[in-house]
Structure 1
Amino acid sequence: MKPTHPHLVTELCDEGVRLYGSALTSGRIARSEVEPAPCLLEFALLHPDPDDPNWLRPVPPASALAQRLHPLERDIQERRRLAVDLTDVFEPFMAISTQQPPTTHAITVLEGFDRINAALDAAIAESQTEVLTVQPGGGRSEHTLSEALNRSKPLIERGIRVRTLYQHTVRHSQRTFAYVERMAGAKMEIRTLEELIQRLIICDESVAFIPAQDDRQVALELRHPGLVAYLTRVFEHLWERAVPLMEEVPYGPDSHGISGVQRSIAKLLIEGHVDEAIARRLGMNVRTCRAHIAKLGAALGSGSRAQLGYRIARSGILGNEHQAPLCPDN
């Protein structure tokens, strides 16, 4: 006998269909004819002829169908009983959960992008007045901006105000300006700062979302009024210091030819941060950060990275609090 066909009875092969039909028509079929379709014997659609071992007789289709359906129906009945038992167990708790006012968790841990996005979408959909967002980092990808557009447009259409804080580095992103143009005339405001806190979303000053891990796979949904109020005040403090996206950043190069972003880098260097940490805090890639450091060193006449900190402190570009005493150059 040939190996069993790799298919289910619900996907009977063409040869099996033809031979089973022929057997039903004639009342029997030679065993040799069935060799191309061993599935007919495996599925018990044929059985040996008691009068002649060289022949096979077809099982009536009604009987074959009943044999296949019986275990399925038994399984369905068992699952129905399980459903009834589960309902009986959870029914008392359902009554508790529907009491007014509903229980609200102050902090909910959200794991995985799907659950985080689902919670965000639900909170944004329920917003009635305003959504605040802090988005650190540099220019966004087309996919990220497309997601932002899909989330923002329904809010704007409902007349809800949206305020977003980016870092100054997005001013070099044409995609960001294209995104702003698409939202022109809407109740959306965008401002930028040199440095920002971690990602933050606040809806109606009632629920806030913050990351719990750097890889953004875990987030916290905060509904404690005190926590949300505190984060809202943090946002407003940053908002007052930020510059509208369509306006020029008010400071340019100083007398040393050092730009605002280079002064920010100088301050972080003095505080002991490494290049990667500086780049992350200022929303730029490490290569761009190192290019600014090289320009900073050239502007201050520093011949080495070790000497740069002293040169920064001696230059006065960061104010008196970082002024260094006179000492010979190293």
Structure 2
Amino acid sequence: MANRNKETHSHPLTELCPEGGELYARALRTGRISRADVEAAPCLLEFALLHPDPDDATWLRPLPPTVALAQRLQPIEREITERRRMSIELADVFEPFMALNTQPPASSDSIMVLEGGDRINAALNLATAQCRSELMTVQPSDRISEHSLLQALERDRPLVERGVRVRSLYQHTARHNPEKLAYVEQLSDGKVEYRTIDELVERLIICDATVAFIPARDDQQVALELRHPGLVRYLVKVFEFLWDRAVPLSTGTPYGAAPDGITDIQHSIAKLLVEGHVDEAIARRLGMNVRTCRAHIAKLASALGSGSRAQLGYLIAQSGILNQEP
């Protein structure tokens, strides 16, 4: 039976099964939990989220979430550091040849198609290794793995050590991502700034205002490396436009309710509803899951006294909330 339970609850280190999550939460609330109760979720012991009670071996005590998170991040940090070391070594290999390339890039080289995650990451690593003054990034929330997210954040570390200014834009939902917040807290200082905004459309990375990267396909397996001065200047202006309207991550939550009872995020949802977007599209554009999006729509309907979806659109238009600044 023990082996069967282990196979049933076998899952990646970055996940926790529903049973394990409920039991861990109960242990945190009560301060301990019996060994018999956790037999249904052996992953809690495998991940070292529980440890024996020194006073009574029949009980287990929970590891604090902050300590558990740090332990989960350690192997990921080691892997990212090793990848960074390899990318810097490659950059050093090609550095002598850079001085020989005195000709300006031809127009056909100003837009390069990068296909495949490995090639995209290699180009990003090289560009950030050569970055000397400023890195600007726009990072919409998506369903990409946390490993990729941490990889992007860890790229900032050597830049910070070299004195490069880093500015990154996320959606407001990033404020509820513990892994992202843990890295932001480690990296934030005078030259590193993180802000959030309600809606971001596409990913964008700009190095030294000379090279930019944008996705060319929704699955993020094809990207464009842009070195055309006019295109890069335009993308810098787009970034600055969004940056001026974003909220520093260090400030309080931007989801506070306005005097009319409608929160900022619900204003954004109302706008997209009136434009005709379905729940899935709204959730994707605002960087949240569909369940959370529908919960906000329900609260919006309640605040406006709507009894149906069709009536909600009418009441939004009649209420005048879209004419207000969120």
Matches within 5 A, 1:249-288: 249=253, 252-288=256-292
Q: Does 1:133 align with 2:137?
A: yes
The CA distance in 2 between the partners of 1:257 and 1:138, in whole Å, is 28
Deviation, 1:236, is: 0.7
Counterpart position of 2:323: 319
1:189 pairs with 185, 190, 193, which one?
A: 193
The CA distance in 2 between the partners of 1:164 and 1:294, in whole Å, is 32
User: In structure 2, do the counterparts of structure 1 residues 277 and 142 end up closer, same or farther at CA, with 3 Å as the change threshold?
Assistant: closer
Counterpart position of 1:101: 103
Aligned CA RMSD, in angstroms, stands at: 2.1
Tell me the TM-score normalized by structure 1: 0.64
Q: Is the 8 A contact 1:139 1:176 kept in 2?
A: no
Deviation, 1:262, is: 0.5
Q: Is the 8 A contact 2:172 2:196 kept in 1?
A: yes
Counterpart position of 1:159: 163
Deviation, 1:179, is: 1.0
Q: Is the 8 A contact 1:156 1:187 kept in 2?
A: yes
User: In structure 2, do the counterparts of structure 1 residues 149 and 238 end up closer, same or farther at CA, with 3 Å as the change threshold?
Assistant: closer
Counterpart position of 1:177: 181
Note the alpha carbon deviations across 1:48-75, whole angstroms, 9 max, x for none. Answer: xxxxxxxxxxxxxxxxxxxxxxxxxxxx
Deviation, 1:317, is: 1.1
User: In structure 2, do the counterparts of structure 1 residues 225 and 169 end up closer, same or farther at CA, with 3 Å as the change threshold?
Assistant: same
Q: Is the 8 A contact 2:212 2:227 kept in 1?
A: yes
Q: Is the 8 A contact 1:139 1:173 kept in 2?
A: no
Q: Secondary structure, in 3 states, of the residue corresponding to 1:318?
A: helix
Q: Secondary structure, in 3 states, of the residue corresponding to 2:212?
A: strand
Q: Does 1:144 align with 2:131?
A: no
The residue type paired with residue 127 of structure 2 is A
Tell me the TM-score normalized by structure 2: 0.65
- What is the percentage of aligned positions where both structures have the same residue? 65
Larger radius of gyration: 1
The residue type paired with residue 101 of structure 1 is Q
1:112 pairs with 109, 116, 127, which one?
A: 116
Deviation, 1:178, is: 1.0
Report how many aligned residue pairs link the two structures.
224
The CA distance in 2 between the partners of 1:146 and 1:154, in whole Å, is 14
User: In structure 2, do the counterparts of structure 1 residues 179 and 125 end up closer, same or farther at CA, with 3 Å as the change threshold?
Assistant: same
User: In structure 2, do the counterparts of structure 1 residues 103 and 269 end up closer, same or farther at CA, with 3 Å as the change threshold?
Assistant: same
The CA distance in 1 between the partners of 2:214 and 2:125, in whole Å, is 14
The residue type paired with residue 178 of structure 1 is A
Note the alpha carbon deviations across 1:202-259, whole angstroms, 9 max, x for none. Answer: 0000000000000001000000000000000110111111111001256731233111
User: In structure 2, do the counterparts of structure 1 residues 99 and 288 end up closer, same or farther at CA, with 3 Å as the change threshold?
Assistant: closer
Note the alpha carbon deviations across 1:74-128, whole angstroms, 9 max, x for none. Answer: xxxxxxxxxxxxxxxxxxxxxxxx6631534110111100111111111111111
Deviation, 1:187, is: 2.2
Deviation, 1:143, is: 1.9
Q: Secondary structure, in 3 states, of the residue corresponding to 1:254?
A: coil
- Structure 1 unaligned residues grouped into runs of 5+: 1-97, 322-330
The residue type paired with residue 201 of structure 1 is I
